[in-house]
Amino acid sequence: MNENAKIAIILLLKGLFYKADNEKAWAELVESSFGVIKEHFKVMGLDVMIDENEAYAYLQNRVYEDDETPLPKLVQSRELSYKVSLICVLLRKKMADFDMQNENTKAVVSAEDIKAEVLLFLAQKSNEVKLLKEIESSIKKVQELGFLKKLKNDENLFEIKRSIKAFVDASWLDDFNKRLEEYKKATAWN
């Protein structure tokens, strides 16, 4: 296995791997060593998922056939907070709107726009400063998940990463809508 294949493996283990992170390792993953890398992760119960059009890859737990014995899950599912989930949904919607209006450019959003949209969905609290800090913390979490990236030339602007389309799909949105209804009922009760 060559150096670029090893780098591709490491970048996949770190999370979302974008072509822009390392173009040589990306080329190795997609063009030359995909079979070797796929088999490397299959041994651990993982599949390599690649979206060549959007230029990113990630690992997910393997789906086993009925006659196969599944391995313990290496990639754990994480429950996201309401605010983080809400931001993901809003960003996915912005990405869809942006794709309909623009081609081949980055979807960019400001921190203020994210905060303003999130505030529309939250009950007003007496301590607005605390609420804004919670939203900022949630935005940082979305960054850590790899769905937002701060622009270098402006600290207030974020690029919405295209990988959000793979994670916030119709099934995810349906699940979120069910939880949103539960949340509404719970807050109406209080």
- pLDDT per residue as tens digits for the range 59-97: 999 888 888 888 888 877 777 888 898 899 889 888 888
- pLDDT per residue as tens digits for the range 126-171: 778 888 899 999 999 999 888 999 998 888 899 999 888 888 876 7
Q: What is the CATH number of domain 82-189?
A: 1.10.10
Q: Which residue has the higher pLDDT, 121 or 46?
A: 46
Q: What share of the chain is helix, strand, coil (3-state, %, to 5)?
A: 55, 15, 30
Q: Residue 189: its pLDDT value, please? A: 44
CA separation for the pair 106, 122 (Å, rounded): 28
Domain residue limits, the chain: 3-61, 82-189
Q: Residue 89, SS3?
A: helix
Q: Residue 150: its pLDDT value, please? A: 92
